[in-house]
Chain A
Amino acid sequence: MIVLQANNLSKRYPGSQIKAVTDFFLEVRKGEILALLGESGCGKTTVLRMISGFEIPDTGELHIDGKLISANGFFTEPEKRGVGIVFQDYALFPHKTVAENVGFGLFRLDKTQKQGRISEVLELTGLTGFEKRYPHQLSGGQRQRVALARALAPNPGLILFDEPFSNIDTVLKNQIREDIREIINKSGTTAIFVTHDTKDVLAIADRAVVMKDGKTLQIDTPGNLYSKPANRYVAAFFGKTNFITAKPVKNGFEATIGFIAAENAACLDKPVLTLSIRPESFQIVEPNNSAAIKGRILSQKFFGEYTELIVEVLSSEKPENITVHLKPGHQHPGAECWFEVDEVGISILGI
């Protein structure tokens, strides 16, 4: 079931020359956790604000649960959308207790129902016992859970998070990501969150929209965004990679760094293309193998679970360096080795 459908959303802020968001399309399924990912100014927060109703799109339509909530000349007020929001600064009402904050959106329930729902949500978020505290008496993580409890209380079909992990200590981040993912899944709601950190996406998102300058670059699962990036920007955004120019031939690519074996490469009907090869896709092989990439190790850096090598490719026509990640071993700067590429780590970039 589709919870949110966005068709062709665009927004330009008054006084600005460029559009903050251009031609934005999205469908979010029930129960999904979707990330809007990009650098600051990419338009991800504007999308969030258009969904919540605090920004009016210039063009396009928005549907929630199949109901039109925004179109040219038609606009549903934020309070009538049933969309919960967890703000980056949590935006807890400082003059209300935890219970009052959580109960704020439950004004349609009678007193007993309201009490019951408050306890239920507080239990779900692990805040039982904090009912009477005021926001300033809570830690940052607790405040975030109150904000989440408050947004969940009226049972919204969709819940939006604005940069939920940016205010949290790195040490606690993993735990909090897990907690939030669990709470969302338990509550059965659908979530969209905005982030600039690929780690957030890889950790908890089911799918992510990568945005740049208001445009959508790719919508895919975290795994595919990493291993099958659509273009250079996405490839680089998700970690270190090598961009290699190559010509598809039978059984592989005639690349600048040497021959790379790949099945079906010949099916590509482009004369020249760019490959993104993740550093961990390279392996050192014996020189007598069919592998054709020869290099000299220029430097090495130890990162714990892997070692990063900068390798000067000797088999290429022009001088070219590649980055290679290997299990810590006995490679030394100056050594010459032969490399092979695992086909799975290769992605063909559009532009």
Chain B
Amino acid sequence: MLKRLRIISSDLRSSWVLLLLVATLIISIPLLIILGGFFSEGGEIWNHILKNLVPAYVINTFLLMLGVAALTFILGVSTSWVVTMYRFPARRFFEWALILPIALPAYISGFTWAGILDYTSPVYVFLRNNFGIDTGQYLFFDVLSLPGAIIIFSLALYPYVYLITRAYFLKQSKVLFEVTASLGLGPWQSFRRVALPMARPAIVAGISLALMEVLNDYGLVRYFGVDTFTTGIFNAWFAFGNLNAAIKLSVYLMVFVLALILLERYQRGNMRFDMGIGSGQINAKSLSSRQSVSAIIILSIPFLLGFLLPFIMMLYWATLVFDDVLTTAFWNLLRNSFVLASLAAVTVVVFAVFIAYTVRTYPQRFVIMAARFSTLGYALPGAVVAIGILVAFLWLEGQMAALSGPGIRIALLGTWFALIYAYLVRFMAIGYNSIESGNERVSVNLDQASRSLGASKLKTLLSVNLPLIKGSVLAAALLVFIDVLKELPLTLILRPFSFDTLAIKAFEYASDERLAEAAPAAVIIVLTGFIPVYLLNKMMGRGNI
């Protein structure tokens, strides 16, 4: 113990490690505050919320998770299986087309579908006038409901399951299926009794990611009128003005997040399946033309409903309002969003590069732990991060006001600084994971060679490490940029007064039932969302997932 302390204290003398600890602390403040909220007194409003609203939040959140888990399982596993195991025309196309729905944030897909199924939508009008189909205010069923939300979420999030499961199926040994066939198992039995149980860790990991997104969401559940913890947090803060209640709700939401993480860990357990020897790529089985048609139909459903139809609808709306919307105000909006997202991307990348390099230079356990800790913000729903920062900055503003005397107020809340800080907390993991995977491909000997030639750590970072991982740095910046661009709950809570982003504007227009006007902003978000799809598809081609 003493010895370990001695080792740690000797490393602390390095300014790099000290800086890393400071950075980690800064990044984890919101998390620590929310965890601290567990012990705080709730107050009267909280008691009211706890008694009258929380039961509904719990039930709704639980049902949403259950429904999305089931549906993303069906969509993700079936599509990845068909695409991996069979050969048919258009297979290459579907391999990447099935990822596309991920470019559509759930809230955008949500209000677009509401528009498509609405009484006045061109689709409904056409069906009503020509076929006499009339199912009330919405075509088929009331989409603005819990089941509707489950379907929209699943269509937007199944690609997580598809991507991870497919990567797993691709790594399977073909010998395995030759063995099951020799043991007399048909294709369906091989799938159910061997492939599926083997892919379980991958499938559950994919579903967990999807459910994290569900817990993070505010836009879709608000638009669909499904009350969950995120809408509760917004009500507590914006309607009741009660921060305590918002913290308490955040704590409750974190319980769900934590349960999800633990469940995922638990099911994974110590499972590390050997892929078997001779793990050559699976020979995809050619399908007859009739089978090919059914395969294509199966794969088309998630692609059409999750991406193509809503995207076409959006484009159509965008053309309707083209002239009205593309004004100076819109260009300002665009610039705001892009500048904000770029700043956030640069900030995250700077922190991520620094932390990853420090871990590389001092690979001690406590340094690695600290770096990991700084990435935990990704598990926090955006609204929770925002509330944590709200609490921290209110306290800090109070302290500074007390110090600087009356009359002078130093504002932190409602500034770009608060927003960028929040994005740093929330998206650190994205930046860090990308940079770290870049680092893993560069031999540490290069750093040591540089140091042995007299270069300092900083010079080594700048002239050896950074040039060699610039691809990863760029990817990290892009991913963060896109995530910030479509981010909604956190931005809504922390944005400066009357400051809008593309995501907020799209959401506000949609909330005012001005769907067509929401479309241009939504289209831009979706278009930038293609970039990670492209990157994912490329990485998958190299088998890097």
Residues of A whose CB lies within 8 Å of any CB of B are: 14, 52-54, 56, 73, 75, 77-85, 87-89, 91-95, 104-105, 107-108, 147, 150-151, 153-154
Contacts and interface: CB of A to CB of B under 8 A. Distances in A.
B443 A89 contact: yes
Contacts of A108: 454
29 contacts: A14-B7, A14-B365, A53-B451, A56-B10, A75-B10, A78-B452, A79-B453, A79-B454, A79-B455, A79-B456, A83-B452, A84-B452, A85-B448, A85-B449, A87-B448, A91-B443, A91-B446, A93-B446, A93-B468, A94-B468, A95-B467, A104-B450, A104-B453, A105-B454, A105-B455, A150-B449, A150-B453, A151-B452, A154-B453
A82 B467 contact: no
A93 B448 CA distance: 11
B364 A91 contact: no
A79 B464 contact: no
A88 B446 CA distance: 11
Contact of A14 (B4, B451, B455): B4
A15 B354 CA distance: 27
Contacts of B443: 89, 91
B544 interface: no
A24 to B, nearest CB: 19
Overall SS of chain A's interface: loop
B357 to A, nearest CB: 15
Contacts of B452: 52, 78-79, 81, 83-85, 151
Closest 6 CB pairs of A and B: A105-B453, A91-B445, A91-B449, A78-B451, A85-B452, A87-B445
Contacts of B454: 79-80, 82, 105, 107-108, 154
Given A107-B454, A154-B454, A87 B449 contact: yes
A91 B444 CA distance: 9
A89 B445 contact: yes
Contacts of A95: 467-468
B468 A107 contact: no
Size category, B interface = 20 to 34
Interface in B168-212: none
Nearest to B450: A104
A91 B448 contact: yes
Interface in B477-494: none
B441 to A, nearest CB: 11
A19 to B, nearest CB: 13
A221 B455 CA distance: 35
A234 to B, nearest CB: 31
B193 to A, nearest CB: 40
Contacts of B7: 14
A93 B10 CA distance: 30
B510 to A, nearest CB: 47
Contacts of A53: 451
B456 A78 contact: no
Given A91-B448, A93-B464, A151-B453, 20 more contacts: A52-B448, A53-B451, A54-B451, A56-B10, A73-B10, A78-B448, A79-B452, A79-B454, A79-B456, A85-B448, A87-B445, A87-B448, A88-B445, A91-B446, A93-B450, A93-B468, A94-B468, A105-B455, A150-B449, A153-B453
Nearest to A102: B453
A156 to B, nearest CB: 8
B470 to A, nearest CB: 9
B448 A107 contact: no
Contacts of B4: 14
Interface in B422-462: 443, 445-446, 448-457
A246 to B, nearest CB: 47
A12 to B, nearest CB: 9
Contacts of A153: 453
Contact of A54 (B448, B453, B468): B448
A95 B455 CA distance: 17
A56 to B, nearest CB: 7
A263 B365 CA distance: 60
